[in-house]
Each structure stands twice: as C-alpha cells, then as structure tokens.
C-alpha cells in the first residue's frame, strides 16, 4: 500500500472574498457552497484534460470497455497553516485501482494486506474451477442427459396413463348410470363394488408404473446426485469464504471522525442493527475524502459530489450534476465520521409543509377532495407528522374517516381523494385497482420534445442502495406505463399532460428523466434532474364513480405554474 501522499490541491481561483461556511455540508441533502462549486469546476477542468486512464466514461466504441460514468467528489479543507484548498476523490476504482494521484487513496488501513485478498480470490477461482470441472465431467453429463430424457419420457407416459384411466372411469360411470335403469338393488350394489375395485386397481397400477419408471431413472439419479452434492459443497464453501473475506475487508475500513475516534464498517452497521453492509461500502467518494482529511489533520469545510460521464442504463445520472451521498452505504458510516464537526441541520427533519395551506375543494357525505400544496406530505412520515391525513383528522374529528384513497409524492401538488368511511374507501379503491380511474397530471419538462404524444413503458424498482429513488429494471422491475401529450413548447422547456396507466413510485419523474423515456427531467426534480423552487408536477384532474350516487364525478385543480 502506498503511503498517504499529499493530495491537498490549492485553489487556482482567487477565493479571498468568499466567506467560509459556518457549518459543514449535510451530505444527504445539500446545495453546494460557493467554495465547493469552485473546487468542482477546477476538478472538472482537470478531468477534461487527456489522462492515461483506460476507463471509458463516454463512448462504447472507444475500445476501452462499455461506457460507464462515475461519481467524483471534492472536499474543501483548511490546513494547519489556515490555507484553503481541496481534496478530490472518485467512487470505487478506475482501471482496477483506487490509488491515482491527485485523488485521495482508499479509506482502508495503511497496512491493508492486499496479498491476503489476492490469496482468497485465487482460492475462490480454484473452487469455481473445481465446480466447472465437475460440471464438465463426461460421466456426469451422460448421466444427466439420460436422466433428463427418462424424466421427460416418464411425464409423457404417466400423462397417457392418467388420460387412459380417466376415460375408463367415464365409461364405468356411464355403464353404472345405464344399468341403474334395469338392475335390481342387489345387482346394482355388486356393480358399484366391482367398479370401486376397478378404480382401486387403476390407482395401484398407476403407482406401480410410476415406481417402475423411477427405478429406470435411479442408476443415473445416483450418479447425478453424487456430482451435484460435491458441487453444492464446493459452492457453499466458496460462499462462506466470500462472506468471511467481506467481513475481513469491512474491518480494514477503520474510519476516523473529527474527534479522532475509529470504528470499522462492520462495527458501525452492527451498532445500528443494519445487517451486513452492502458490497463496496466505504469506497464512495465522501468517506474517502473525510478519512484522508482526518488522517492528515485537515479541517473539512464543505463537500460536494457530482456525476462524470455516461449514466448507467438503470439509473438516471446527468453529466456534471451534483448528487447527495448514497443512503445505504454512506449514510450510516458518515453518521460516525461527521461526529465532532458542526454540521448543517438535516433539512429532511424540517417540516416542509409549515405555513402551507391545504385547500378542500369539494366535500359531501362520502368524499373529500383536497388540493395538496407542493412539498407537503400525503400521510405522516417517520419524523414529520404534519400531512394531508393529519390535517383532515383535525378538520373532521367526529368522522370514522377520513381515509386517503391514494397518495401523491411530497414534492407533487394537486388533487387527492379521501373518503369518510371504510365502505366508501373500498368502493373507490377498487376503481384504482381495476384502473378505471381517469387521472391527468401537468408537468413542465426541461427540454423540448420532438413528438406530440406517445407512450412510455419502462419497468421500475426501488434503488436498494439509495431509497426512495427508482431504477429502470427489466429483470425485477414492475410494469410502468405512462401516456403523454404535448401542450406547449417553450424555448428550452415543454409543458405536457401525463396520463399514468400504472401508479408506481416516482413513475412520472423517472419516465420523464430517463434516457429511454423522454430524456427531459421535470423542472425542479431534485432526485432525477436539477432542483429549483419546486417540482413542476401537478395532479390536475381526476374522474371516478361516486360511492353513493354511482355516477361519474370529476374534479380539477389548475396547475400553479
């Protein structure tokens, strides 16, 4: 392992007139400080220069592997002389290494025994090779082929036998029905006994035939079981050794905080009862930067992370766009590493609905229609209780409801439907389930669309590393469909109607922003685009069957943008 070399980069830009922030950046939700913006610009100028890296950030045709962007970070720091500069880092590896000057090195201990890891990986390769060798053994392949063939034949033969017995049973029933007209009671009783015995004989013969076919398979089954038992044992051994190595690696990430205290990744996750840390925890830019700063007695001032290059096919990442630290890997360990620093308040704990007005636009004995403001919860959250639901409870303290039939994202404004009891709730909820509800949203998109209308079909699932954001995933994602129609084209923006066919989390936001969707994020989308004064997405119209009149009713709340 190379020692911690000097990665402190002085500012090229004159920053003498810029004040140092009073508190350090809250890394999960932030607006970059001016110093972070300058450091980012200088780093990006460096990245635009030719480098000796083979990593392909952009074009799949460069011959350097499939294009893949990467998260970079800057940490503005102050050295012991009081001088300001910044540190740079990238998440993960570039060209198979974490140690590329002037970027800070990996966050694991200086005496990290890479040879131990290499030895373990060689052992994994050896075990995998042994499994492959067993899979390719002629005796195993021959036995497996014979066994599969006999099983397929047995299925056909047994199905033929079942059909034969079924036909015989029908004939016996028909015979019994016909004979019941001419036979006396004793003769009919004897015939029923005979037919019952024939049915038992059929079941016995079928079972005997089944055993006979299994016995034909048995010699091959024994050979296959022997080989597969060996393969399973080797695979289990490899899996356990891999888990042991992962734990060992996590213990090598002995992370510092501003108080000089150390905890490894495994300790942090165990203390928080979070289970096993995700793979590569500790390799993101933010923990690398803080670890280096604390180890070199540099005072952290401000942090920012941005994406550089092409987005992955599942995520939505924009070149040069700032992004917060990830939730699953970074949030737990940054909770430890930031101890001792005066950090900005967590804006996610501040009630965004404070002083916002919630308008009830319609009410009768069954339903309540609300026009929800933007940045206001539909239902109470873990820490913030103020919401549409809680305010409706205050407005209608004597009602058995109100019960929200559906929800809107906190950032989305517009129409919400509530009912005054459970019976009416189920009546309208069924319409949502059956997709007979008509809904329409208005959205302002960042970009000018070419087509006037169309359908977006991109399956979605939650990003397990960064909840609540969503990924496009064709393997595990749920079907998500959105119809759109252009209303107006502006200089750099497009106003559209969205008609969601399904109702997945963040569906409209992802379908708008993703490269395989409209490739035009909703203006103000802080998750999939660029934050502004608000998310320009509004639930404008809804139509459904009323639970009492059983007639169609519709409601509209014009978009406030």
26-43 pLDDT tens trace: 999 899 999 999 999 999
Give the pLDDT mean for 304-310: 95
Per-residue pLDDT, 61: 56
The residues facing 539 across adjacent strands are 414, 441
SS3 384: coil
pLDDT classification of 352: cutoffs 50, 70, 90: confident
Question: DSSP 3-state assignment of 553?
Answer: strand
- CA–CA separation, 447 vs 370, rounded Å? 31
Question: Is residue 555 scored above 90 in pLDDT?
Answer: yes
DSSP per-residue string spanning 15-40: -TTPPPPSSB--TTS----HHHHHHH
Q: What's the whole-number mean pLDDT along residues 140-148?
A: 96
Diameter over CA atoms, the chain: 116
pLDDT at residue number 136: 96
* pLDDT at residue 42, as a whole number: 98
More confident residue, 64 or 360: 360
Average pLDDT, the chain: 92
Burial class (CB in 10 A: 0-12, 13-18, 19+), 109: middle
Distance CA 342, CA 126 (A): 50
- In sequence order, the β-bridge partners of residue 78 are 84, 299
pLDDT of residue 314: 85
Q: Residue 301, class by beta-carbon neighbours within 10 Å (0-12 exposed, 13-18 middle, 19+ buried)?
A: buried
Q: Is the pLDDT of residue 63 over 60?
A: no
Which pLDDT belongs to residue 165? Answer: 83
Asked if pLDDT for residue 177 goes beyond 70, the answer is yes
**Residues 356-375: what's their mean pLDDT?**
95
Encode burial over 306-341: b for 16+ CB neighbours within 10 A, e otherwise: bbbbbbeebbbbbeebbbbbbbebbbbbbebbbeeb
Residue 4 has pLDDT above 50, yes or no: no
Distance separating alpha carbons of residues 378 and 390, to the nearest angstrom:
9
According to the model, what pLDDT value does residue 236 have?
A: 95
CB 380 within 8 A of CB 336: no
pLDDT band at 303 (very low <50, low <70, confident <90, very high): very high
Return the structure tokens found at 115. 């040879």
pLDDT at residue 264, as a whole number: 96
| Token output for 446 | 């960042």
The runs of H, that is alpha helices, within 180-284 are: 185-252, 265-271
CB 377 within 8 A of CB 384: yes
Beta strands in 313-420 (DSSP E): 359-363, 367-372, 403-404, 413-419
Condensed to tens digits (0 to 9), the pLDDT of residues 368-380 reads: 999 999 999 999 9
Q: What is the pLDDT of residue 2?
A: 35
Superfamily of domain 351-556: Pseudouridine synthase (3.30.2350.10)
Domain ranges of the chain: 9-109+255-348, 139-248, 351-556
The listed range with the strongest mean pLDDT (185-199, 380-394, 478-492) is 478-492
Residues recognised as catalytic? 409
Q: What is the pLDDT of residue 406?
A: 95
């Amino acid at each position: 392992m190379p020692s911690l070399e000097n990665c402190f980069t002085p500012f090229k830009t004159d920053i003498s007139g810029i004040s140092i922030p009073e508190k350090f950046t809250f890394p999960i939700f932030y607006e970059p400080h001016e110093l972070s913006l300058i450091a980012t610009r200088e780093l990006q100028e460096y990245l635009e220069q030719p480098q000796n890296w083979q990593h392909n950030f952009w074009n799949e045709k460069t011959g350097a592997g499939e294009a893949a962007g990467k998260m970079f970070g800057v940490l503005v720091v102050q050295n012991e002389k009081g001088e300001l500069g910044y540190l740079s880092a990238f998440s993960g590896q570039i060209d198979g290494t974490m140690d590329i000057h002037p970027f800070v090195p990996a966050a694991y201990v200086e005496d990290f025994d890479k040879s131990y890891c290499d030895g373990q990986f060689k052992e994994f390769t050896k075990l995998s090779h042994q499994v492959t060798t067993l899979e390719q053994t002629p005796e195993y392949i021959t036995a497996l082929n014979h066994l599969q063939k006999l099983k397929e034949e047995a299925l056909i033969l047994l199905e033929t036998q079942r059909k034969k017995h079924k036909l015989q049973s029908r004939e016996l029933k028909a015979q019994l029905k016909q004979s019941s007209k001419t036979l006396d009671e004793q003769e009919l009783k004897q015939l029923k006994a005979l037919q019952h015995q024939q049915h038992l004989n059929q079941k016995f013969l079928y079972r005997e035939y089944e055993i006979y076919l299994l016995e034909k398979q048995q010699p091959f089954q024994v050979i296959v079981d022997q080989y597969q038992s060996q393969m399973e044992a080797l695979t289990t051994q490899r899996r356990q050794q891999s888990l042991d190595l992962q734990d060992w690696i996590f213990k090598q990430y002995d992370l510092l905080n501003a108080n000089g205290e150390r905890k490894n990744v495994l300790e942090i996750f165990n203390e928080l009862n979070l289970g096993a840390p995700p793979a590569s925890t500790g390799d993101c830019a933010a923990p690398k930067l803080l670890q280096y700063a604390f180890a070199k007695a540099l005072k952290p001032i401000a942090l920012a992370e941005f994406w550089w290059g092409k987005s992955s096919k599942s995520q939505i990442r924009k070149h040069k766009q700032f992004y917060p630290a990830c939730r699953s890997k970074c949030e737990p360990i940054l909770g430890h590493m930031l101890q001792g620093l005066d950090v900005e308040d967590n804006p996610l704990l501040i009630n965004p609905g404070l002083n916002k007005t919630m308008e009830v636009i319609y009410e009768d004995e069954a339903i309540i229609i609300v026009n929800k403001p933007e940045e206001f919860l539909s239902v109470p959250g873990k820490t913030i209780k103020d919401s549409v639901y809680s305010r409706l409870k205050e407005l209608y303290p004597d009602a058995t409801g109100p019960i929200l039939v559906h929800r809107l994202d906190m950032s989305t404004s517009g129409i919400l439907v509530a009912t005054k009891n459970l019976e009416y709730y189920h009546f309208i909820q069924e319409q949502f389930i059956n997709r007979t509800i008509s809904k329409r949203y208005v959205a302002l998109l960042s970009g000018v669309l070419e087509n006037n209308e169309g359908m977006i079909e991109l399956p979605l699932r939650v990003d397990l590393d960064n909840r609540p954001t969503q990924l496009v995933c064709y393997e595990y994602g749920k079907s998500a469909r959105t119809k759109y129609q252009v209303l107006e084209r502006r200089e750099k923006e497009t106003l559209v109607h969205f008609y969601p066919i399904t109702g997945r989390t963040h569906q409209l936001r992802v379908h708008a922003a993703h490269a395989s969707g409209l490739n035009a994020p909703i203006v103000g989308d802080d998750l999939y685009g660029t934050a502004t004064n608000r998310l320009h997405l509004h639930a404008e119209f809804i139509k459904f069957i009323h639970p009492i009149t059983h007639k169609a009713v519709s409601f509209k709340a014009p978009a406030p943008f």
